[in-house]
Structure 1
Amino acid sequence: MTSPNKLRVGILGAGEVAQVIHLPTLALLSHLYTIEAICDISRKNAEHCAQKFLIPLATSNHDDIINHPAIDLVFTLTSDEFHASLSIAALKAGKHVFVEKPLTLSIPSAKRIIAAEKDAGGPRVFVGYMRRYAASFVKAFKREVESIPRILYARVRDFSGPNKFFVDQSGTFQVKNTDFPAGAGEERDRMLHTLFEEAFEGKEITEEKRKYCRFLGSLGSHDISLMREVLGSPESVAGVSLNEPFYSAIFNFRNKGTGEPYAVTYESGIDAVPNFDAHLAVYGKDKRVEIRYDSPYVKGLPIKVKVEELNEHGEMTSKEILTSYEDAYTAELQELYACLVDGKGIKTTAEDALEDIKIFDMMYKKYDESIR
């Protein structure tokens, strides 16, 4: 059934995440959303998407989106360094903002977005942490973890394999044009450098640190955010390891209520093996619970929860729970609609995303300690 209150959307960024994920999903949710305009630094990319998804306006000027009178909601799907400036501009123009994770790459930058949202006095920010909206996570996984009286250990893993392998089989037929305006690369580098200066304030900014920051913003933000919703924020970071393109850490946590300590291992990286191994596993004395995510670039792959535990007879039992085949992006954008139209509270706010960047900052500081 078509909603009488469709949200009118403007898209900033017509790259991979737009073409493979958000444009197809918004099209399937056409009873909730209409796409009014799309912008990309490559005008050819914008025009391709406009033709493919029947979007009235294609442009290479982001002001055409931000100041468009018929747009209620701006999707910020650009590269990370532009998230803050474009989202703030959209808020000042009175638009709601959906910003793909990461919100941004530094604590001061995140605080600027939060301040802009407060100053706007109505427009809201929703950060795209889609894994946290998957039905199997929201229902089965969290329910099963809550039944563990004392957590002894947890593991966060994300070995995603080559992204191109999954994108090429997604059926979305992405295009990549390179008709970028002169000076675009210099502007991008300048904005990134500013973010790096804020993220590593007062410290030397090495190429290794740049890659670390970009990695945590891309793949790492999924995992840290998911971990934090289930377990809370770590008390401290015991250690980190940087071996690009693989990154790991050990976090120190305490059980809620009892305060008893436990460790969480974070392990993440990108190799050439086409196996998407992303999961969060929580271990108690008599029970193990794991949620496993497949590539989000292929629609319809199930997100499953596995439970292993001792029964009353001392026997090991195992079960697998599949709450829904609905993909996490569809669930996320339906939630976004409920938040903006029906007034539901937003879970993945800018303030919420700031807590992930604070954890990144703890990891950077631990790395600095290790190389003294």
Structure 2
Amino acid sequence: MTTAHTNGHANDNGDSNGANQIVLNVAIIGVGEVAMTTHVCAPRRASEMACSRFQLPTLLLCSHMYRTVALVDISKQALEHCSKKFHVPKTYTDVEYHVPHAVQSLKAGKHVFIEKPMAITLGGADEIEAARQESGKLVFVGYMRRYAEAFLRVKEMVKDLPKGSINYIRVRDIIGYNHFFVDQGGNFPVKFSDFPPESAAERQTLGDACLAEALGKKATNALDQRFWMLLNGLATHDISAMRELIGMPQKVLKAARSPDGLFTWVMFQYDGFVAFYEVEYKVLSEKTGIDGVRKFDAHIEVYTKDKRIKVTYDTPYVKGLPITATILSSKPNGDHSEEVIRPTYEDAYTLEYKAMYAAITEGTPVKTTAADAKQDLEIFTMIMDAMEA
């Protein structure tokens, strides 16, 4: 999760983009593998801001916009490691979670950047939105794939399609183990396990309460528990992007999973077409049968009678890999055409941070809001209701 705040003071030192650039102070809550590989930035004089689960290396390269001044994590070893590696002066070990920390930050007058999942219950989402309205501050949810330039290009192409021309949509996310890419990303993250026993117990208690609220009677089923966390983890990227591209589904026609729960298939009903979603559950052990091919296979593809439009994502753990838009079409003379568009090498995390910076400093609208994120939970509930045993 991430929170953010600024008083809007100008940077006294100036920067490469011009004099009086506003730089936002950041406090990062949660400095695990994701934060170490994709999100902390080095110190710089700036205005105030607080954040959690920001990508440390990416923020380092965005030092004209952000300055990390504090780290928060339950692991003292992780704090010591990141503090030294990224030159962040202040560290704290307070134990918090997405919803309570977001609410507390909003009540303290901070803007909030919160990594997905924003919340794993509808009640938690409502709590954050209520705090946002009361505080008047921003809540920016970290759906970075929706800020990729190639995705926005595909969105415009789909928007321009004649009404009723979509025949089918496929959403796919089978991406293997994180370490396939993290180990080769050049960021050298380190994992720590010095967690106080009482914190593990507290997390378990809170997790059980959230699952009971979200799943009701299904909360006692281990596969349902794991599946709900899959939906609120990896699947949020896909479902959120699908929503922006084609809106909310009318209903879930069918949802099924493999006997071990590692692979899931969902069919969504839209007006005149079906969207098919396939996703794998990401687990830590390589002995569980998860896909072991070292390919990050994530895309959304729109099928019409004579055209296919696809956005293809690559792993975010290796900075600079392109996200592309591909258009396949049939020409009137029978020719087959294939066009691949690579708008930029700029990664989606950086583009996301630029969007949040503009929202805070210039007042530009935020599309990945708390209310927007709640729609994912509504879809996840539809999927759970349709899931076959």
The alignment's TM-score, normalised by the length of structure 1, stands at: 0.89
Task: Select which of 336, 358, 368 maps to 1:348.
Answer: 368
What SS does the corresponding residue of 1:51 show, helix, strand or coil? Answer: helix
Displacement of 1:329 in angstroms is: 0.5
Partner of 2:5: none
Stretches of structure 2 lacking an aligned partner (at least 5 in a row): 1-15, 39-54, 283-290
Does the CA-based 8 Å contact 1:148-1:287 persist in structure 2? no
Task: Select which of 314, 324, 333 maps to 2:334.
Answer: 314
Q: Aligned pairs, how many?
A: 343
Quick one: distance in 2 between partners of 1:349 and 1:203? Answer: 29
Partner of 2:288: none
Does the CA-based 8 Å contact 1:47-1:59 persist in structure 2? no
Task: Select which of 312, 323, 338 maps to 1:292.
Answer: 312
Partner of 1:137: 151
Displacement of 1:147 in angstroms is: 3.2
Quick one: distance in 2 between partners of 1:364 and 1:205? Answer: 14
Quick one: distance in 2 between partners of 1:163 and 1:238? Answer: 31
Aligned ranges 1:328-367 → 2 under 5 Å: 328-367=348-387
What SS does the corresponding residue of 1:185 show, helix, strand or coil? Answer: helix
Quick one: distance in 2 between partners of 1:204 and 1:225? Answer: 24
Deviation track 1:129-157 (CA, whole Å, cap 9, x = no partner) reads 0000011111x211222233211100000
Deviation track 1:52-76 (CA, whole Å, cap 9, x = no partner) reads 11111012126xxxxxxxxxxxxxx
Partner of 1:97: 112
Asked if 1:13 corresponds to 2:30, the answer is yes
What SS does the corresponding residue of 1:153 show, helix, strand or coil? Answer: strand
Partner of 1:74: none
Partner of 1:266: 277
The aligned amino acid for 1:264 is A
What SS does the corresponding residue of 1:84 show, helix, strand or coil? Answer: helix
What SS does the corresponding residue of 1:31 show, helix, strand or coil? Answer: coil
Displacement of 1:361 in angstroms is: 0.5
Partner of 1:258: none
Quick one: distance in 2 between partners of 1:171 and 1:4? Answer: 30
Aligned ranges 1:8-47 → 2 under 5 Å: 8-21=25-38, 22-47=55-80
Deviation track 1:96-116 (CA, whole Å, cap 9, x = no partner) reads 111111111111111111111
Aligned ranges 1:1-372 → 2 under 5 Å: 1=16, 4-21=21-38, 22-61=55-94, 82-120=97-135, 122-138=136-152, 140-149=153-162, 150-243=165-258, 244-254=261-271, 261-269=272-280, 270=282, 271-367=291-387, 370-371=388-389
Alpha-carbon RMSD: 1.3
- Deviation larger for 190-199 or 329-338: 190-199
Displacement of 1:198 in angstroms is: 1.5
Does the CA-based 8 Å contact 1:287-1:308 persist in structure 2? yes
Deviation track 1:330-358 (CA, whole Å, cap 9, x = no partner) reads 11001110011110100100100001110
Displacement of 1:203 in angstroms is: 4.4
The aligned amino acid for 2:351 is A
The aligned amino acid for 1:26 is L
Using the aligned pairs only, state the percent identity. 41
Displacement of 1:187 in angstroms is: 0.7
Quick one: distance in 2 between partners of 1:85 and 1:6? Answer: 26
Stretches of structure 1 lacking an aligned partner (at least 5 in a row): 63-77, 255-260
Quick one: distance in 2 between partners of 1:126 and 1:186? Answer: 30
Does the CA-based 8 Å contact 2:218-2:224 persist in structure 1? no
Displacement of 1:204 in angstroms is: 4.8
Displacement of 1:202 in angstroms is: 4.8
Quick one: distance in 1 between partners of 2:383 and 2:293? Answer: 27
The aligned amino acid for 1:123 is K
The alignment's TM-score, normalised by the length of structure 2, stands at: 0.86
The aligned amino acid for 1:248 is W
Displacement of 1:277 in angstroms is: 0.2
The aligned amino acid for 2:85 is K
Q: Which runs of 4+ in 1 moved over 6 A?
A: none
The aligned amino acid for 2:68 is I
The aligned amino acid for 1:126 is F
Does the CA-based 8 Å contact 2:219-2:225 persist in structure 1? no
Quick one: distance in 2 between partners of 1:272 and 1:42? Answer: 30
Quick one: distance in 1 between partners of 2:219 and 2:100? Answer: 25
The aligned amino acid for 1:90 is S
Displacement of 1:209 in angstroms is: 0.8
Does the CA-based 8 Å contact 2:321-2:345 persist in structure 1? yes
